[in-house]
Amino acid sequence: MRSWYCVQCHKWLSSPPGSAFLYARQEVQHLLEPLVVSWGWQSDNPGPSRFIDENEWQGTRDPAAYLSVPAAIQFQADYDWPRVRAECHELLREARERIEELTGLAGICPDSPEWYAQMAAFPLPACDGAPLQRRLYDEYRVEVPIIEWNGRQLVRVSVQGYNTAEDVEVLLRALQALLPETAIALP
């Protein structure tokens, strides 16, 4: 059984940034110290749990993001989110196939839902990543990270319920146009 579980709900639940939770098994809670010292810190009248006392209340905070989580859960239930996730994976799988065809580079993992769901990174030919990322956004309004990992450039593509096949088409057209212009000759 896991000792810790931390989730940013905006990543998978479509709630606003800032809505998150941390679960810690009781026997390891004493190992955690709060990042923000506020109400309950080293209380003279500790409640049933030092962990809760020190982490539950962090002074003046806007609770709107946390309060949105039940509505986000209901939204996903109302709109058959397992189906939406499957459609997102299929769109990403198609993007993977076309990016591999465009670059001639194999993926970094098997093409299987066990290896990626709605977000994956794909190898790019040697290129200047920062200008490529900037130009993708400035010229095509495509916002994707271009990252370097183990000496290779990768594009990280994330597909959410609001993305369409046309979004993938724009990314592919942009990569086709910009990769030759940002290429780096290898020694």
pLDDT digits (tens, 9 = 90+) for 55-75: 776 667 788 998 999 999 999
**Residue 120 in contact with residue 156, Cβ under 8 Å?**
yes
Give the whole-angstrom CA distance, residue 125 versus residue 99: 11
Kindly state the average pLDDT of the residues 25-36: 82
pLDDT score recorded for residue 46: 62
Q: Percent of the chain scored above 70 by pLDDT?
A: 90
Cβ-Cβ contacts under 8 Å for 35 (sequence gap 6 or more): none
pLDDT digits (tens, 9 = 90+) for 87-134: 999 999 999 999 999 999 999 999 999 999 999 999 999 999 999 999
Give the whole-angstrom CA distance, residue 183 versus residue 170: 20
Most confident listed range (53-57, 159-163, 183-187): 159-163
pLDDT score recorded for residue 63: 85
The structure tokens 């989110």 sit at: 81
Q: Which of 76 and 4 is assigned the larger pLDDT?
A: 76
Each domain of the chain, given as residue ranges in start order, spans 4-78, 82-182
Give the whole-angstrom CA distance, residue 177 versus residue 70: 43
Q: Which tokens is 6 given? A: 């931390």
Give CATH for domain 82-182: 3.90.1150.10
Instruction: Give whole-number Cα distances, 163 to 104, 107, 152, 167, in Å.
Output: 25, 22, 27, 6
Intra-chain end-to-end CA distance of the chain, in Å: 49
Phi/psi of residue 155, nearest 5 degrees: -105, 130
Return mean pLDDT, the chain: 89
At 168, the pLDDT band (50, 70, 90 cuts) reads very high
Is residue 40 predicted with pLDDT exceeding 90? no
At 39, the pLDDT band (50, 70, 90 cuts) reads low
At 1, the pLDDT band (50, 70, 90 cuts) reads low
Is residue 43 predicted with pLDDT exceeding 70? no
Q: Which of 8 and 133 is assigned the larger pLDDT?
A: 133
pLDDT score recorded for residue 49: 75
The structure tokens 């098994």 sit at: 25
Cβ-Cβ contacts under 8 Å for 12 (sequence gap 6 or more): none
